[in-house]
Amino acid sequence: MDLLEKIKEKKALVGIIGLGYVGLPLVLRFTEVGFKVLGFDTDGRKVERLNRGESYIKYIPSSRLAELVQAGDGRRFEATGDMGRLGEPDVLIICVPTPLTRKREPDLQYVENTARLIAACLRPGQLISLESTTYPGTTEELMLPILKAAGGEVGQDFFLVFSPEREDPGNSQYEVRTIPKVVGGITPACREHGVALYGQVVEQVIPVSSTKAAELSKLLENIYRAVNIALVNELKMLCLRMGVDIFEVIEASKTKPFGFQAFYPGPGLGGHCIPIDPFYLTWKAREYDFSTRFIELAGEVNSNMPYFVVQRVAQALSGQEKPLKAAKILILGLAYKKDVDDPRESPALKIMELLTGEGAEVSYNDPYIPQCGGGRRYPGLSLASVTLSDQLLKEVDCVLLVTDHSAYDYAWIASQAPLIVDTRNAFKGVQGAHIIKA
């Protein structure tokens, strides 16, 4: 039985490399339609939890995993840290991180290392799909030479595609099944295999002419959002000077039934895509002697928002004749967006670093993130979420709302805190001169 037949009859073993916010939903969807899945991750603790049927992502219940890992013939999912098993699956889907270096250049070490591990186990008849967001040319220029060096001809002995992930953590309106999947292959045969695979788990597959086109489509999606968020962030700063409510302006503008899509300002960009992906393209564009000025300007505006927020906190404290140095600042919300447990690239982390650097005494509360380790970029941050109480809110000098979780009782917080700086318009409708917008 060849690979296409295995895929169409759901007899192909699917391997998913990277079992995080992208990989784990794919595990659930492939098993849901009848495939067996072997998951790979370098985090031993994560592997152990998954094999016990425990979820570590807020919106994925453990009950869904528990039924997949039961012993015997009914077992549909197994997690492993043994990369020597990469030759077992018929299909390998790569969902590893693609961060930036401190100089805002692409850091493809995880993709490259994964490709080398696959090459060491590559066997005829395997399909490899890269889902990690990256610059146009990565699949063809980085992945392909590594895999070809292991022997075999692409499109005949093995198949290579790029199909960008489109996960939106915490968004209950869309799931893997309902989000269209873009697929580009190195060869027509590669694309055919990729389309067949994803056609089993999503309602609509969008084939494109090449892996480069697929790679660039994902960047365009996120650059579109980054540029528009930068626009409203800049307008927010202008509106604060003019004494105009930017949120009122946006709500009025969105009543236009055509030609306008609402974007909202905030304390800066967060998450695994929008703060990072545009810089993948600006870096690649330099290879073609092309300056992406529009994208870079948007990045500059968004990157400066945490500095603007800290400035607003200092001004708000000054209005109460208190200096920022030694001030007790309580940050509400560490996650990069509301109602998720994901702190990756959250502007809250940069804001915490800046406030600490100014000598402020910083604490935070987030109902979804009990511990803050700072991650790759802020290893010096090590805090635990504090419990909100009347006493705590009264004792701090300023409450800084960064992430507008639905769990917060904004009226109660406003009734207890002496000063509030609101970056999300979360306290709309709550009256008080002590509420300052940022």
Catalytic residues: 273
How far apart are the C-alpha atoms of 328 and 310, rounded to whole Å? 13
How far apart are the C-alpha atoms of 298 and 273, rounded to whole Å? 15
Q: What is the DSSP string of 399-430?
A: EEE-S--TT--HHHHHHH-S-EEESS-TTTT-
> Smallest Cα–Cα separation from 397: which of 344, 357, 352, 360?
360
DSSP summary character for residue 106? B
Beta-carbon contacts of 172 under 8 Å, excluding residues fewer than 6 positions away, are: 59
How far apart are the C-alpha atoms of 126 and 85, rounded to whole Å? 13
Quote the tokens at residue 27: 């595990």
Task: Kindly tell me the burial class for residue 312, based on how many C-beta atoms sit within 10 Å of its own C-beta (0-12, 13-18, 19 or more).
Answer: buried
Task: Kindly tell me the burial class for residue 60, based on how many C-beta atoms sit within 10 Å of its own C-beta (0-12, 13-18, 19 or more).
Answer: middle
Q: What is the DSSP string of 146-183?
A: HHHTTSS-BTTTEEEEE------TT-TT--GGGS-EEE
DSSP summary character for residue 337? S
Radius of gyration of the chain measured on its C-alpha atoms? 24
How far apart are the C-alpha atoms of 32 and 406, rounded to whole Å? 30
C-alpha distances out from residue 196 to 127, 181, 408, Å: 11, 11, 45
Quote the tokens at residue 284: 């690649």
**Is 328 strand, coil or helix?**
strand
Bridge-based pairing of strands 383-384 and 371-372 is antiparallel
The total of other beta-carbon atoms located within 10 Å of residue 301's CB is 21
